[in-house]
Structure 1
Amino acid sequence: MVITGAGRGLGRLLAEAFDAAGASVGLVARSEDALQKVAASLDGEALVCAGDVRDSAFNESVARGMVERFGGLDVWIANAGVSPEFTSVLDMEPDAWREIVDVNLTGTFLGARAAAAVMGEGGRIIVTGSVLGDRPLGGLGAYSASKSGVQALVQSLAQELGPRAITVNTVALGWFDTGLGRHWHRDAEREQGIVAHTALGRWGNAADLAGMYLYLASGSSAYVTGATLTVDGGYSLR
């Protein structure tokens, strides 16, 4: 299996969770040093692949590398993403917009395409999304747009890959103290606003994250595809 964005945060947590479950893991991120540290912390085999998910040739080389090293590729988790600071669309530079959309959306497309090219029947493609894909916030326009696009891409891929029994799903995350959420968690006013808006009355923590990905990668989810499964403590209910 492959996890992009595996050098830190959720990606590292997922690498540890799947390693504990006995998976051979392909670790993808830009920093080789960060990936080597993650690989050294795992008990099982890991393939370190440092590069840019926006590069189609790189994604294809990762997929081929998994086949050559482990004999196949059954799960691809498209988790790499850019988590920007709070910025109005009116003030955002076009290059900043392009980077967010290219990493979060185009990177997901290129990874999924590379994975599907080598996957056998019954493969799994899992994409890290966000509740902001359905409930955009002012000041997070590029991020929200990229995550909304991810959900549409997943639904299209699910239809195209369904005849091969390859499932494609989104895990839409709420507010966790990682990535984009870290900036807000350190702002007392915003942090309290999110807590007040969340049914469970708290931010998510690491223990809340891996279970959904493990489920979607397992045989138990064989009839789940094109879905957005939300892990947000009830944030999107209000």
Structure 2
Amino acid sequence: MTDSLTDPRTVHRSAEFPAQTQHQPGKTEPMNPTPDHGEETYRGSGRLDGRRALITGGDSGIGRAVAIAFAREGADVAIVHQDEEQDDADVTLDQVRAAGRTGVSLAGDLRDEAFATSIVEKTREALGGLDTLVLNAGYQHDVAGFESLDTEKMRRVFDTNLAGMLFTARAAYPTLEPGSSIIVTASIQAYNPSPGLIDYAMTKAAQVAFVKALAEEAGPRGIRVNAVAPGPIWTPLIPATGWGEERVRTFGQDAPLGRAGQPAELAGAYVYLASDEATYTSGAVLPVTGGKAL
């Protein structure tokens, strides 16, 4: 094989994962192996110079990878996270600031309408504006059987993945300027739902509808609305979902590329959608799934 080519089957861990479990919300430090967020590999080239971004769920996983990439591309970044995720958030902000950009921490619960709304104005005050909104925060839990679907957990899924997303987007939308971008973290679950994630999959399908509907409305204002649909990605959410040892051990092995993805492998998709390279891309769902079809 040519030395300049990277084999996508083996560029990241292709072996099975060790048994592990966490309580929600999951944390990065206990994970084995540690996810790759692009700390050592992502190289920016000024594609987002001067942008001001708000990333929900920006403390770890996909959100951390996006925050690192955005900062290295020239954007200032505010990240939203729960109070108990402050340690992870601090690590992310260290990476943002090491890139020479402003990093802001906003701690709270997006299910709280007042908080989910207030973060927009707090971001504008801290960064001098807001033009890139990444709606990434999410919650999922294992459902052993439909008859056992827990009402409290179901409402947490709906309120985090849908209500919180809508509260923040609604607050930001009126004053976004032409050239602004809204990016939602959807999922392959929107198209290929697993019974054990039935409520989560429902919210991801609704997010796709949100993206397509808002893109229609926002287009005449020069605002683009898109989504990234990850496949199986190794983030703290996985050991905290409540799956058994076998499910965690084989996570992502059924993808055509034979492995789970790493958060770093999604960052470029968000950079593209936020950048001027995507000025004619709106209402799109960009799959990063290891070959799994939407």
What TM-score comes out, normalization by structure 2 length?
Answer: 0.74
The residue that corresponds to 1:195 in the other structure is 253
User: Is 2:90 the partner of 1:33?
Assistant: no
Query: Partner of 2:112 in structure 1?
Result: 55
**Structure in which a larger fraction of residues adopt helix:** 1
Which segments of 5 or more consecutive residues in structure 2 lack a partner in the other structure? 1-52
Q: Report the counterpart of residue 2 of structure 1 in structure 2.
A: 54
The one of 1, 19, 22 equivalent to 2:71 is 19
Distance change (3 Å), C-alpha of 1:105 and 1:50:
same
Say which SS state the counterpart of residue 235 (structure 1) adopts: coil
Superposition pairs for residues 24-173 of structure 1, below 5 Å? 24-31=76-83, 33-34=86-87, 35-43=89-97, 44-173=101-230
* Amino acid paired to 1:207: A
The structure having more radius of gyration, on CA atoms, is 2
CA shift at 1:154, angstroms? 1.1
1:221 maps to 278
Contact 1:63–1:118 (Cα < 8 Å) also in 2? no
Cα contact 2:79–2:105 (8 A) shared by 1 = yes
Residue aligned with 1:236, SS: coil
Q: Is the 8 A contact 2:251 2:260 kept in 1?
A: no
Judged with a 3 Å threshold, the aligned counterparts in structure 2 of structure 1 residues 66 and 189 are, in CA distance, closer, same or farther, namely closer
Q: Which amino acid aligns with 1:19?
A: A
Q: Secondary structure at the match of 2:286?
A: strand
Moved more, 59-68 or 222-231: 59-68
Q: Which amino acid aligns with 1:136?
A: P
**Conservation of the 8 A alpha-carbon contact between 1:64 and 1:118:** no
Q: Which moved more, 1:48-57 or 1:130-139?
A: 48-57
Report deviation, 1:137: 1.0
Query: RCO greater where, 1 or 2, for CA within 8 Å and sep 6 or more?
Result: 2
* Contact kept? 2:61, 2:234, Cα under 8 Å: no
Deviation at 1:37, TM superposition (A): 3.7
Distance 1:200 1:119, change over 3 A: same
Partner Cα distance (1:142, 1:211) in 2: 28
Specify the alignment match of 2:261 in structure 1. Answer: 204
Q: Within 1, Cα distance between the matches of 2:117 and 2:162?
A: 17
* Aligned-residue CA RMSD (Å): 2.1
Using structure 1 for the length normalisation, give the TM-score: 0.90
> For the residues of structure 2 that align with 1:57 and 1:193, how far apart are their CA atoms?
37
Q: For the structure 1 residues 39 and 189, does the alpha-carbon distance in structure 2 shift closer, same or farther, using more than 3 Å as the test?
A: closer
My pick for the range that moved more, 227-236 or 26-35, is: 26-35
For structure 1, which runs of at least 5 residues remain unmatched after alignment?
Answer: none
2:161 is paired with a residue whose SS is: helix
Structure 2 Cα separation of the partners of residues 33 and 166 of structure 1: 32
Report the CA distance between 1:210 and its aligned residue: 0.4
Identity of counterpart residues, as a percentage?
A: 37
CA distance in 2, matches of 1:160, 1:191: 43
Q: CA deviation at 1:118?
A: 2.6
Change (3 A) 1:185 1:88: closer
Match of 2:26 in 1: none
Structure 1 pair 193–53 and aligned structure 2 pair: CA distance change class (3 A): closer
Between stretches 8-17 and 222-231, larger displacement belongs to 8-17
Question: Counterparts of 2:199 and 2:102 in 1: how far apart (Å)?
Answer: 37
> Matches of 1:64 and 1:193 in 2, distance apart?
39
User: Matched residue of 1:209: which SS?
Assistant: helix
State the Cα distance separating 1:181 from its structure 2 match.
3.8
Q: 1:140 to 1:5 in 2, by over 3 A?
A: same
SS of residue matched to 2:178: coil
